[in-house]
Structure 1
Amino acid sequence: MLLTDSFLDYLLYERNYAEGTVKYYRSDILELQKFGEEVLGDLTPSDVDADLVREWIASLMDNGCASNTINRKLSSIQAYFKYLLKKGEVAVDPLQKITRPKKKKPLPVFLREGEMDKLLDDIDFGEGFEGCRDHLIIEMFYATGIRLSELIDLDDKGVDFSASLIKVTGKRNKQRLIPFDEELERSMMDYVNVRNEAVPDRSDAFFVRKNGKRLDRSIVTSLVKRNLSKVVTVKKRSPHVLRHTFATAMLNNGADLGSIKEFLGHESLATTEIYTHTTFEELKKVYNQAHPRA
């Protein structure tokens, strides 16, 4: 495949692309050229067809190239052939019928049970109302899988101690009931007693600040990140990590996917199935560490 500088000059001077970006285009085109010459020998742009591009994609994947990187390379090649089509140097675009690799969804980040035990049982959250409140927030995320927005919007009337149920409003205003156990009930009642004494004048919110107003996202996100940092070093330390931790712990301890779906308030079981991949990755890790032939 004869590579001219006209395409790169077009990107640089007519499209005003940065020099660094143009270097990527040049590298990607040369990479395909080299691969094509190894397969076909001498190569012209017209020799590049969909089959050759598919073989190139397969070789990139075999060499561990990530989907995002492959898709970027394909974008470079497609831009190049669109330019050649416009100039009349080729008759067809070889990427027209190419299905691009799907981006691999990252697995959810979660804490292990031992890390959660250490956080809830050994870490000092501080004395008084705020320490009691912050500990309960961490515990409630872990014990119920509740969303951040659901926790913030929870009112006193949404907690039914007699039935051991929390009523939350999830996405698209869909309401659901989340059961809680005796341990969480004790923690919640302890918090309510401390809160009522420390903050007599307050809103209807279950979780409040010292001034009696409802908590906001930034406060909860900050306290979760601060306390998770005491037991883990993972970069992601958000309330959603605790939601993932809840789901993974439930699955690892025998809960079926359908039940976890209802707990989390997922619309589709496919959304919940991501946790099966998480636990499978853990099993692989254990296997690779423990099996003598791994």
Structure 2
Amino acid sequence: MFTDDLTIEAPKLHGAAATPTPPPGAAADWTIPQHWERFTSEEHRVWDLLFARQQELLAGRAVRAFHEGLDVLRLSRPGIPDLDELNERLFARTGWTVVSVPGLVPDDVFFRHLSQRRFPAGNFIRSASQLDYLEEPDVFHDVFGHVPLLAQPAVADFMQALGEEGLKALRRGALDRLSRLYWYTVEFGLAREDGDLKIYGAGILSSFGESRFSLESPDPHRPAFDIGRVLRTRYRSDAFQQSYFVVESFDELLDSILETDLGALYDSLADEPDLCPSRA
């Protein structure tokens, strides 16, 4: 019942190989002007359709902080948010801004943006024929999925810390480990809230099919969040997840990265076998 509407959106850190120079028209940090005025009425219509559909679907399914953070997206005009207006609201809350990029960016560029409290968003939107499937994250996934929780202080700090740790992991050759932490939290994390499981991962929040599957299907495992176990667990980007790690709070998530020597943990796991997500 769930596989008919499949949306899988890989995080940027597994989508772009390192490239020595940015594409034409992009700055050295791969950012580009949004040119909000160039989006067509059809592109704005697709955003409004996706927004309304997901907002209705996520009622009772997403964490409270997501619904509270949606306020930063309720702007003066319908359609794709104007980032100038969005950033004014978001920066006032947590010091984050959203920057436009042409698409997937190299890992070092991506993590450097996060470390400086900037979230890269693809400056394009899926077509009406692709509502339920997209290989590359678009502005809906990046802004609707990520930005509301960037208005939450603990998540905002966790994302900055992930950026800093991502740059360290690149230098250590440990990106495969760090990418699992990103995947199972930022993209596909669940949280326990008032005794119930709720969604906070952007890959689920922006997916019509996985929003239901992650909470309602009896198939996936839903183990308690443990950073060592997360770093050992493989994942697939071409199917719904077989495991969703559950945090008890965003403070727990933030503490897990601030209080863990990830470099030492990478070393301790070097001889440990990877875990299959179906048995995590």
TM-score bin (small chain)? under 0.3
Structure index of larger Rg: 1
Using structure 2 for the length normalisation, give the TM-score: 0.26
TM-score scaled by length of structure 1: 0.25
